[in-house]
Structures are given as C-alpha cells and as structure tokens.
Structure 1
Amino acid sequence: MQQTMTYREKIVQLLHIFLPVFITQVGQYAMNFADVTMSGHASSKDLAGVAIGSSLWVPVFTGTSGILLALTPIVSQHLGAKRHEQIPHAVIQAMYLAGVIALFIIAIGAILLHPILNHMNLDNKVQRVAFHYLMALSVGIIPLLLYYVLRCFIDALGQTKMTMFITLTALPINILFNYLLIYGQCGFPKLGGVGTGYATAITYWYCFFIAVIIVRKFQRFARYRLFTRFYPLSFAAWKELLKIGVPIGFAIFFETSIFAAVTLLMSEFSTTTIAAYQSAMNFASLLYMIPLSISTALTIAVGFEVGANRYQDAKQYSYLGIGMAVATAVVTSLLLYFFRADIARIYTNEPDVLALTAQFLLYAIFFQFSDAVAAPIQGALRGYKDVNATFWAAFVAYWGIGLPLGYTLANFTTLGAFGYWIGLISGLAAGAIFLFFRLLSIQRRYGCRNEQG
C-alpha cells in the first residue's frame, strides 16, 4: 500500500488489490464446486451427506472467520499510521484467539454434532457420511483459522497476490486428494463423500504451511518478524479484536443463515422449483464475489487512509469502490437478462427446470444492484472500524424485513417461491439505503475531525 494523489492512481491501486482478491474468491468457490460434483459422482447419498455437512459447517466458518476479519482494518490502520511495531503484536494475538476459537468449535461439535444430525431424521448412510465428513474436516479447523489470520495480515498490507497464489496452488491439491480419497485411487482408501472432508483438511494444512513460509521468507513480511519474538497473551488486544470482529461475524452469519433458512422453507415446493432455485442461487452467488471482493479491497484501502489521517482520500476510495461495483452490476445484469436461458443450461437439461431457472435469474438482476451498493459500503465501514451499523443492518434487512416479507409473499399471494426472493431483495435494498446514510454520517464525522486537526 502507498499514498495516492490522483483518482487514476487510486483506481489503479484499488484494482491492484481487488483483482487478486476476486481470483482468490473464485478459487475458493471452485474448491466447493469440486467437492460437491466429485462426491456426487460417488453416489447421491454421498452427495447428500456432504451437502448436509457443508450446510452445517459454512455458517460456523463464515461467522468465526468474520471475527478474525477484524485484524484487516487494525493492521491497515497501523500501516497507514506507520505504527509498524504494533502490527506483529496484533497478528500474534489474533492467532492466539484463532486457536481458542478453533478448539471451542471442535469441542462444541463433539458434544452437539450427533444430536443435531439425529434430529434431522436423515437416511442412515447420509447421516453417517455427514458425521464422518465433519469429523474429517475438524482435523483442519485449527490450521484453517490460523491461516485465515495470516491471510488477513497479508491482505491488509495490500499484498493480495500472495493469498491468490496460495488459493490457486491449493485448488489442484484439493482436487487431487478428492480424487484419491473419494474413489480410492493409487492405493488410497475409498471413502466416498467422507474423503472430501479429509481432502479439505489436507488443503487447509497446506494453506497454513505455505502462508507461514511466505511471511517468514519474503522481505515485505519478514520485516515484521512474526515468529521470532514471544508475545504474551493480551486480553486488551483480544478485546479490540472481539469488539470489531463479533459484529462482523454476526453480520456475516445473519447473511449466510438467511439463505439456509430460505432453502429449508423452499422444501414445501416441488422438486423442480427447488432445483431451479438452487441453480439460480448458485450462479448469483458466483456473481456476488465481485462486490464481495471490492468490499475486501475497500476495507484495506480505507483503513490505510484512515490510519494515515487522510480522510478525504478514504472518502474518495469509498465512492470509487461503490462506482466500480455498480458498473459491474450493470454488466452482470445485462448478462443475466440476455443469456439467462444459456446460464440455466449449465445446470440442467430438463425443460421445466430450465424455464423456472431462467425466471429466477431475472429476479437475480435486482440482487446485483443491491449488492453493488451494500457490499462495498460494508467494506468501507470496516475500514473505518465502524461495524455495529453493519451488524444491525444485516439483522434488520434479512431477518426483520426480508424473511417475514418473503414468507408472506410466498404463502399468501400467487407469487409462490418467487416471493422469497422478492422479500430478500427488498430487505437487502433497505439495508443498502441505511448503510449508505451511515457511511455519509461517518465521513462527515471524520471530515469534522480533519478540520479540527
């Protein structure tokens, strides 16, 4: 990261941060896609078991990783303020916290996993695959969260190409071990869907070890000497991390869990409707990685400028990021409108599912614009370390407006399953409007501080 003087320099630097983050996000999506498709080739019950296990794990991971995401604005602001000596202390404290969180997750899983799966009334094999998949995955939880801390550190310094490199090299490793362990190739045991859990855990260990090597050997990171000095546990540092991270974690949890809830509520509709919904949502989730990556880039850029007390530059980055997201939303919306039938054919050849998927993709157009405003603003606000507004916006938008409205429209009007999407779109739009005014308020506050300074 470096100071920029013109809009052109800011755009170049923002793109420099954004593009590797976006490629990283797509790489992670590809890993999940490989897990699902490869276990599906083992058997439908293996696929169902992996899907159930993944649906339980993803909200837990996204919520806890949201807590650790607090490190990004902390390091970015230290970097902008040239408080380099405080960065390694913050990173090591985050690693301590990550280790404790990982052990807590494993302990809770050991206690609650069996009762939760029993309560779901699953087929015996599906339940067995889901249980052992999650048990296998647990082997990699500690390195995963430790890696996530190092990733936040690396990204906060603006070196997002490094995390892109880690993800792109991890993808073939994940696919290789999926192949070996799911199908029992080259002398490895044939584990079916459970093999996906072990392959994922191995991938997590790989990411962690490569990240450690990078921060030790590359000069731009080695200067911070992360692992050459012992830092005692600091509850004050944990308090700062949790104060920022817990609202982020809950905001992300509210977002991911609402889609899981809608998926469960959709079970009352026909198999054709559910298949079409899942197909459209899968593609919409892929497109969402664009504003999500811009959001991450803004957290880094805005945090850097706020730390340096360059509040006007932070403001300019915020609007550049929103403008980029809206511009890409126009392009993706046109893509969805004109090629929705072709996109639907990626997922199915059944005429009924094709037609319904194409209809769902029309509604996904409205997601593009709401996400294009809401996601970048969330990233900018995190750069200012303002996270409570995002927490409340997510809660009210999804659970206070989106789900109740969607349920009402789906069950008491002729809209049917489309009602859920209209509800979610309405909630997300309301949240985006609220966050926009919150960003204006924060920028005015920092503008006044700048004038007083």
Structure 2
Amino acid sequence: MKLKNYTSEFKNNLKLATPIMMGSLGHLLVGLIDDIMVGRLGPVELAATSLGNSLVFIALSIGIGFSFAITPLIAESDGEGDEEKGRNIFQHGLILMTILGIAVFGMLLFIKPILYHLDQPEEVVALAIPYYEIVAMSMIPLMIFQGFKQFADGLSQTKYAMYATILTNVVNIILNFALIYGIWIFPRLELVGAAIGTLISRIVMVVFLYIVLMKKQKFVVYMKRLQFHEIKIKTFKKIISIGFPTALQMLFEVGLFTASVLLAGTLGALPQAANQIALKLASTTFMIAVGIGVAATIRVSNQKGLNNFIELRRIAFSNFLLILIIMFTFSIAFMLFRNVLPWMFTDNLEVIEIASSLLIIAGFFQLSDGLQAVILGGLRGLQDVNIPSGITFIAYWIIGFPVCYYLGRVAGLGTLGIWIGLLTALTSSAIMLFFRFNYLSKKLIKEKNGLT
C-alpha cells in the first residue's frame, strides 16, 4: 500500500487528536505548574510534590484508564447510529466514574501511611503529607470530569474538554501564585497552597464541562438522566469488562514510573528532584501520544461499528505512522536542549546535571513510548483489552522493573540506570503490542471475507 494512503489520514487524525492533546496537556500542566512554582521554594519541596504525587498518580491512572472504556463503546454506538444505546452507556459510565472517584479518594487516605515506609528522606515526607491529602480529594471531581470527557470524545466532540482544561489551568495558575507565595490578602501556604489550587481548579473544570454539554443540542438526548428502571447490571458489566483491564494497563505503566520515583528517592532528595523534572518533561510529550491514541480508539471504533475492517486497519496504521513522526521530533529536541530544559524547574546545579543526563534516555524512548500508547488506543477501539493487559504487565514488571532495579541500585548507575530500565520496558511493550494489533486486524479481515 502506498505511503499516501496513510499520510492522507493525518488531517483527520489530528482534527480529533489536537483537542485531546491540549486537554491531556492541560491535566498535566496542573501538576507541572505546581512543580515549577514549588521548585522555586527548593529541591526538598520539589521532591515532596514528587513523593505526594507518586501514589496519587497511580490512583489517577486507574481512574483515567477505567474511563477509557466509555469512549470506544460510545464511538461504536455512534458508528451504528444508535443514540439510545449511547445514552445508556454514557449514563451508566458516569455513575461508575462517580463511585470510582469516591472510592479512589478513600483508598488514597487509607494507604497514606505507606509514605512513611518508602525509605524516603524524612523532611520530604513531612512536607508531602498535607499536599497529598488535599490532592487526593481532587480525585472526586476529576473522575466525574473523565466520565463527561470520554463520552464527548466518543462522539468525536473533543473540543469541549479542551476548553475546560484551559480554564482549569488559568484558575490553577492564579490560585497557585496567590496561595503558594502569599500574594495580596492570601496567606503563604507553599505546598498546601499548590494542593488547594489543584482541588479548586478541578471542581471548576467539571462544573464548566457539565454546563457546556447541557446547553448543546447534540447532547440533549444523551444528557437525559436514567430512570431507576433503566439501570442495567448488564451495561455496568460491559463497561467494567473493558474498563478494568484498561485500568490495569495504565496501572502497570504508571506503577513502573512511580517505582522509578521511589527508587530515585532512596538515592537522596536531589536525585529524586532530578528524576521528577525528567519525568514531567517526558510526560508532557506523552500527552501528545495520548491524544493520537484516543483518536485511534475513536476512529477504529467507528469502523468496527461499520464492520469495515480494511479501513479500520489502514486508519490505525496512519495513526501509528503519525505518532512516530511526532515523537521523533521530540526525541531530537530532548537531546538538543537537555542542558536548558531543567532550568525551568530549578537553579540547583547538581539537580540540573542529573536531569540533563536523564533527558538523553528520555529522548531515546520517545518513539517506543508514543507508539505503544497509540497501539493500545487502536486495540481499545477493537475492544481487545485483556491480552494487551498481560503484555503490558510482562513489559513493565517482568522485563522493565528488574532492569531498573539492577542498573539503578545493584550496578550503581543511579537514576541513569533506572531510566535505561524504563527505556527497555517501553520498547518491549511497543514491539509486543504491535504484533498483537497486526495479528488481530488481519484476522478480522480474513473472518469477514470468509477465509477462516
């Protein structure tokens, strides 16, 4: 097949993906803004936000991963032209996301004592605890927001969540300046101020998106609330059957990166701060891959609803090619500007030196990190989630974590060794997931043509 058959889809892919990218970057910027502002207080404070966010980020990955189940189901019903089916999926999904938000908040409070037993510097833990408690509360509005967002994404209406996250960041920046540093009538709360800013901005985000969706004619049918007799266990099970394995995929990956934070923390506050800087920068580019991945999910799900598997495969591969081109650009940028980017976070020369070395490895794994995220999106569009969950577990915990631990602690390479382990894990995941999608998409084409 000619290259043009794939590149011709770039415009359609980016039209869907760009608002999702912006929205995903917006979520990340909430934490990134916290880190940049808190980083000016000192490396210990920056390490504290890193530690506080480590467990929160795991919980966040579970919730967001679970919410991803809503998008392919909505997109498939949209491809079929069945609005009532879409309404039922959305309303059931929103109920589940609300329950999940409350459960995640409760879980984070329950496991808070773990922070005292992770072999982290005492001064870092002391600062991290109050920050952690408040940010944990923000999981409730964030999970409700995800329910609305993934529904709108499934209908290919990706711009509204982007508007909400832009507003969120404006609110967060204003509140952070006021509450971290103590401007005007506001007290200087430092890390606690950053956490309060995050909580309030996420409440604003979900309220804004709800109001927007309620006022748009396209969503009127879907926003009609379920009557009690319409609530079906079968629909909950359908969403959970996709959401739970998807949450595990996110958990396995984010869990490995969280483990890297904790491993770096055992080396001291400065290596942990450097690790946090490199992770934030790598996570920023990863949000681009998330956007392309959701676009792949939507477009693959639409073609699945139309039962057009040849187009499905072509569109999926166009997304794979697109992310490789984009991430190659970021790879070069990380390597060229590795000595400049850490200055956004701190002026501590030792932290900057460590972080710049990590950005070399981050540059290398841009390709595999982006590709595995988008392939997972394509597989999610096929509603193939169980085997990919097994693949990600093997890549991150059977292959990746032992390499991180051995090179980081045993071989004495420190944070550099940890990041070589991350590169190994992401590359393994990308290769195995590609083989899975290639096999499954070919199989579906053969079955439709009656060849098997």
The TM-score with structure 2 as length reference comes to 0.89
CA-CA distance at 1:411 after TM superposition: 4.4
Specify which of 182, 188, 209 is matched with residue 211 of structure 1: 209
How far apart are the structure 1 equivalents of 2:116 and 2:335? 43
Q: Per the alignment, do residues 121 and 232 of structure 1 end up closer, same or farther by CA in structure 2, a change over 3 Å counting?
A: farther
Are 1:65 and 1:145, in contact at CA under 8 Å, matched by a contact in 2? yes
Q: How does 1:344-359 map to 2 (within 5 A)?
A: 344-347=342-345, 353-359=351-357
Q: Per the alignment, do residues 355 and 32 of structure 1 end up closer, same or farther by CA in structure 2, a change over 3 Å counting?
A: closer
CA-CA distance at 1:438 after TM superposition: 0.5
Single out whichever of 26-35 and 150-159 deviates more from structure 2.
Answer: 26-35
Report what 1:15 is aligned to: 14
How far apart are the structure 1 equivalents of 2:132 and 2:282? 27
Specify which of 394, 401, 420 is matched with residue 392 of structure 2: 394
Structure 2 unaligned segments of length 5 or more: list them: none
How far apart are the structure 1 equivalents of 2:159 and 2:32? 22
Report what 1:3 is aligned to: none
Single out whichever of 73-82 and 94-103 deviates more from structure 2.
Answer: 94-103
Query: RMSD over aligned Cα, in angstroms?
Result: 2.8
Matched, 1:253 2:238: no
Specify which of 254, 263, 266 is matched with residue 265 of structure 1: 263
CA deviations on 1:88-146 (whole Å, 9 max, x unpaired) are 11111111112222222233344443x33444587888656544334433544332211
CA deviations on 1:12-60 (whole Å, 9 max, x unpaired) are 2211011111112222222112222334456766555443322221111
How far apart are the structure 2 equivalents of 1:234 and 1:165? 33
How far apart are the structure 1 equivalents of 2:399 and 2:373? 18
CA-CA distance at 1:377 after TM superposition: 0.6
CA-CA distance at 1:287 after TM superposition: 2.0
Are 2:6 and 2:317, in contact at CA under 8 Å, matched by a contact in 1? no
Structure 1 unaligned segments of length 5 or more: list them: 1-5
Q: Per the alignment, do residues 118 and 223 of structure 1 end up closer, same or farther by CA in structure 2, a change over 3 Å counting?
A: same
Are 1:70 and 1:241, in contact at CA under 8 Å, matched by a contact in 2? yes
How far apart are the structure 2 equivalents of 1:101 and 1:10? 36
Q: How does 1:26-425 map to 2 (within 5 A)?
A: 26-41=25-40, 47-113=46-112, 115-119=113-117, 129-227=127-225, 232-269=230-267, 273-347=271-345, 353-413=351-411, 415-425=413-423
Are 2:109 and 2:136, in contact at CA under 8 Å, matched by a contact in 1? no
CA-CA distance at 1:282 after TM superposition: 2.7
> Which amino acid in the other structure matches residue 390 of structure 2?
W
CA-CA distance at 1:252 after TM superposition: 0.6
Are 2:172 and 2:201, in contact at CA under 8 Å, matched by a contact in 1? yes
CA-CA distance at 1:276 after TM superposition: 4.1
How far apart are the structure 2 equivalents of 1:116 and 1:275? 20
Identity %: 28
Q: Per the alignment, do residues 223 and 12 of structure 1 end up closer, same or farther by CA in structure 2, a change over 3 Å counting?
A: farther
> Which amino acid in the other structure matches residue 174 of structure 1?
N
Are 1:366 and 1:425, in contact at CA under 8 Å, matched by a contact in 2? yes
Single out whichever of 284-293 and 355-364 deviates more from structure 2.
Answer: 355-364
Report what 1:432 is aligned to: 430
Q: Per the alignment, do residues 56 and 274 of structure 1 end up closer, same or farther by CA in structure 2, a change over 3 Å counting?
A: closer
> Which amino acid in the other structure matches residue 50 of structure 2?
A
Q: Per the alignment, do residues 236 and 333 of structure 1 end up closer, same or farther by CA in structure 2, a change over 3 Å counting?
A: same
Are 1:277 and 1:357, in contact at CA under 8 Å, matched by a contact in 2? yes
Q: Per the alignment, do residues 132 and 441 of structure 1 end up closer, same or farther by CA in structure 2, a change over 3 Å counting?
A: same
> Which amino acid in the other structure matches residue 305 of structure 1?
Q
CA deviations on 1:329-385 (whole Å, 9 max, x unpaired) are 222222233333333444555555555443322222320121232111101000001
How far apart are the structure 1 equivalents of 2:353 and 2:117? 35
Q: Per the alignment, do residues 231 and 44 of structure 1 end up closer, same or farther by CA in structure 2, a change over 3 Å counting?
A: farther
How far apart are the structure 2 equivalents of 1:57 and 1:271? 19
How far apart are the structure 2 equivalents of 1:290 and 1:36? 20
Q: Per the alignment, do residues 278 and 134 of structure 1 end up closer, same or farther by CA in structure 2, a change over 3 Å counting?
A: closer
Q: Aligned pairs, how many?
A: 448
> Which amino acid in the other structure matches residue 442 of structure 1?
L
> Which amino acid in the other structure matches residue 52 of structure 1?
L
Aligned-partner SS, 2:245: helix
How far apart are the structure 2 equivalents of 1:61 and 1:357? 25
Q: Per the alignment, do residues 336 and 31 of structure 1 end up closer, same or farther by CA in structure 2, a change over 3 Å counting?
A: same
How far apart are the structure 2 equivalents of 1:218 and 1:100? 26
Report what 1:441 is aligned to: 439
How far apart are the structure 2 equivalents of 1:179 and 1:80? 45
Are 2:121 and 2:269, in contact at CA under 8 Å, matched by a contact in 1? no
How far apart are the structure 1 equivalents of 2:58 and 2:387? 21
The TM-score with structure 1 as length reference comes to 0.89
How far apart are the structure 1 equivalents of 2:358 and 2:43? 25
CA-CA distance at 1:169 after TM superposition: 1.3
Are 2:273 and 2:351, in contact at CA under 8 Å, matched by a contact in 1? yes
